Structure 1
Amino acid sequence: MDVTRTAVERIFRDEHGRVVAALARRFGDLDVAEDATSEALLVALEKWPVDGVPPNPGAWLTTTAGNKAIDRIRRERQRDVKHQAALMISDDTPHEATGLVEDDRLRLVFTCCHPALAPEARVALTLRLLGGLTVAEIAAAFLVPETTMAQRITRAKAKIKGAHIPFRVPAAADLAERLAGVLAVVYLVFNEGYLSSSADAEPLREELTDEAIRLGRILRTLLPDEPEVAGLLALMLLTDARRTTRVAGGELVPLPEQDRGGWDRALIGEGHALVRECLARNRPGQYQLLAAVNAVHTDALTVADTDWSQIVTLYTHLGSIAPSPFVELNRAVAVAELDGPEVALALVDRLPLTSYHAFHVTRADLLRRLGRSAEAREAYDAALAATENSAERAYLTRRRDQLSGP
C-alpha cells in the first residue's frame, strides 16, 4: 500500500486530539501526553509507508503513544512508581468517576481552561493539545508571531506542572468561570476548520468543524440554561450549513455568490430555533449576536433580500458588549451595503488590522467597487501575502487579475 508522509500526517491531525485526551486522562500529565503522541507520529511515519495504515489508526496511535508514555515514566520515576506505571498496561481497576463531563476531549478543554492560566494561554494550549493545531496555525488565529505563541504554550504547560493543577473537571459551581475559555476554544477550532490557515491542509477541514459542533452539542446538554452555549452552537450550525457551497473548482466562493439552494436547510432550521430561544431569554452575548447575524443571512432567499440594516444593528450591539476591531470590520462590510463603499472604506482604514488577511480582502473589494484599481490590486497582493489557504488564494488571484485600468 502506497502511503505518503502527507497522508500519515493528515490521519495524525484527525486523531491527535483524541489520543492526547486519552493519554492525559490516563496519566494525568499533559506534557507526557503530548510528547508521547508526537513520538507515536514518528513511529507511524516510519512504519505505515512500509506496512500500510492499520485498520484502526486511532487505536494504533493510542496504543503506541501509551507505550511511549510508559517508557518515559519508567525512565523518570523511582522504582516503585515505575512498577505501578508498568501495571497500568493491564490494570483492570475502573476509571475514577468522570464527574459532570464524561467526554474525554471536553474534559481536557475544561482542564486546560484553569483560571490560574492567562486567558490567551488557556485557549492556545487547548488548541494545541485538543485540536491538533500547529503552533503556526494557532499564532495565525491570534495574529501574533509563531515564536510568541510557542512561548505562551510552553509557559502554560510549565504553570500546570509547577502549580500542580489537577487533570479534572471543575465542580458544577465552578464551571461558569471556565466557560468563556471553553467556548472560545471550541469556536477557534471551528474557525480553523471553516477556513484553514495552513497551506498543508485542505481549504476546509471538516474534521475540525465536525468536532467543534460535536463538543458544542455536548456543552448544550451539559449547560442547557446557558444562552451563550446555545448561541455558539447556533452560530456553528448556521455557518456549517453553507459548507458544501463554499468551495467550487478549487476556489473559495464568497457568501454573495454561493448557491443558496445547496445550503443545508435542516441545520439552518435547527440554528434558527436556537436563535429564537436565545432571543426569548434576553441575555445577549457575543455568540448569540453572531448567530443572529448568520440567521439573517440564512433567512434571505437571495442576496438582494438580505436585511443589511438589521445586520448593522446587530454588529453595533455586539460592539457595545464585546468591542473589537474584528467586529468593526464586519460591521463595515454591512455598512457598505447600506451607505456605499466609500463610507465603509473610511471605517475600515482606521482599524489596526494590517496583519489580518480579511482586512485586506475587505479593502480590496471596497476599492474595486470604487474603481480604484491600482489600490485594489495592492490590497489583493497584501491579502495574498497574509493567507496560505489554497482556495482563498485562488479566488483572490483571479479577482486581482480581473482588474483593469490604473
Structure 2
Amino acid sequence: MTQAISDIKAYMQQVGKQARDASRQLAAANTGDKNAALLIIYEQLKQAKDEILAANKIDMDKGRSNNLDAALLDRLALNESRFEAMLQGLKDVAALPDPIGEVTDMTYRPSGIQLGKMRVPLGVVGMIYESRPNVTLEAASLALKSGNAIILRGGSEAYESNQAIAKYILSGLKQAGLPEHGVQVLQTTDRAAVGELITLTEYVDVIVPRGGKGLIARISQDARVPVIKHLDGNCHTFIDSDADPEIAIKVSVNAKTHRYGTCNTMETLLVDQAIANELLPQIAEAIVAADDAMQLRLDAASKAILQDNAKLAGHLSDATDSDWDTEYLAPILAVKIIDGLDAAIDHINTHGSHHTDVIITNNYSKSQRFIREVDSASVMINASSRFADGFEYGLGAEIGISTDKIHARGPVGLNGLTSQKWIVYGHGEVRS
C-alpha cells in the first residue's frame, strides 16, 4: 500500500536534501566500493526473486482490473526471463569501466600550464517513469556506478514491484557502507510529488522522464530542472531498391512484432516503389503471419498492391495523414510506397520522432547517405530497430533514450550521467 504523506512539499524537500548529501559521498566513492554495492544488491535480489515476482503479480492483477491497455501491461510485467535479464544488466554495469575521474585531452599551453578534462558525476538525478519495474534497478545501478544520487518516482501501477526492488537496493547500499539515500524510491504516488521534484532546483541537477508522450510533454513544459527526454518512438524501416529480400523480410518482422510496447518498435514501413510490387507482399504476409492481430494501414500505392491478397484479408485499412506521425505501441503498422532514397529521408525527417530509423540495402553509397542525412539518435543499416537499447549497445543498462542533442543522445548509460570539468596543472605560472 502507498504511504500517506500529509505534506508533499516538505517530504520532497527532505528527499532532495538527503539526495544532495548522498551525492557528495557517492562522488568520492571508489570503484571497488561501488562495484561491491552492485554485486551485493545482485545477490540479494537473486534470493528475493519469488518475493519480487509476487509483488509484480499484485501490480499486474490490479492493472488488469483497472483496464490498463496491453502496451502498459506488457511493460509492467516481470517474468522469469525478464527478471534474469534485469539481474544480468546489473552485473554488466558492475563490470563496465568506471568513467568517474577519467582524464582526457591533456595538453600543454605556451604559458606552461597543462590542462585537460576530468569526467565527473552530474550530482542528483530525478527520474519519473511509468510501468517498467526493471527501470528501477537499471536507473539505480547506472546512477550508483556513475557516482550520482537518484530519486525515483515510478507510476502507481508498478508501486508494489518498485518498492520490493527498492528494499534490496537500500539493503545493499547499507551493507556496502554507501549512503542509503543514494537511491530513493518515493513512497508516495501523489502526483504533487512530481510537480515538486521537477522544480527542486536547489537539490536536483537533471530530470529524466520515461513513459508516455503525455507524461514527457508535461515534464518538459513544467520542469525548472534540465530534462533529458524523448517524446515518442515513431521508428521507420526503409526497404531500398537494392535491399536483400531475405534481410528485408526478417528485419521487418522482428522490428514490428518482437514487442509492441517499446519505443524502438517499427511503426512505419517505407518501401521503394522500384521493388514494391515484388517484395511488399512478401513482407506484409510475413508480418501478418507473425501476429494474426496485425493491422496494416496503407497509402494508396501500397493498397493497390495488397488489397486483393487473400492472405491479408481482414488486416488492411486506409492510412490517414495522422498515421505517419503516430507511435502505435500496438499491432498496427503504417505502410507507404516511397519514390527512392531522397523521398525516404525526407519522410523520416518530417514525420519521425528522431529516435531510431533503419535502411535495408546492399548499396554502400545509399547506406552512407542514409546514416549521414537521417536526423535520428540511432540510424541503422540492415538491422532491426529493436537493437536501439542500452543493453544491446553494451551500456549494461540505460536510464532512458534521448532524442535531444544536448546533453546526451540515444541510449543514456554511464557516460550520459556524467559531465566534464577542466583541470589545470601549473608550476607557479602567472598570467602576463
TM-score (norm 1): 0.28
More helix by proportion, 1 or 2?
1
Q: Give me the TM-score of the superposition, normalised by structure 2.
A: 0.27
Instruction: Between the two structures, name the one with larger relative contact order (CA 8 Å, sep ≥ 6).
Output: 2
- Structure number with higher strand proportion: 2
